[in-house]
Structure 1
């Protein structure tokens, strides 16, 4: 599995670790992933690559935080 691409949509997942930036933590450590997005992953896809912000629901969560 390609760890630099989202397993759901195939776009860049923007993972700093997969892109060789070991000195900065991946954004997924600091965001809440939408449980529905995780349920869409097959067992083989789990824990293999980060989801992109759109598929992870991080964009929606950020928008909700800004509205509150």
Structure 2
């Protein structure tokens, strides 16, 4: 599994940890939609971040990008 891609849509997930940057991922501060997590198979869980769109957390990712 590509840890820099969202397991639901395959787009870049903006994960700073997977990209090797020394900063917390956007998802650490996000409220991820439980329905999005429920769409993951057991094999996909805890393997890669969802992208902000699939996670239902666009505002959190956008705020991080501006800082």
TM-score with structure 2 length normalisation? 0.85
TM-score with structure 1 length normalisation? 0.84
Segments of 4+ moved more than 3 angstroms: none
Structure 1: stretches of 5+ with no match in the other structure: 63-68
How many aligned residue pairs are there? 61
Structure 2: stretches of 5+ with no match in the other structure: 62-67
C-alpha RMSD over aligned residues: 1.6
CA deviation digits over 1:24-54, x for unaligned, max 9?
0001100010000000000000000000000
Cα separation, 2, equivalents of 1:61 and 1:43: 26
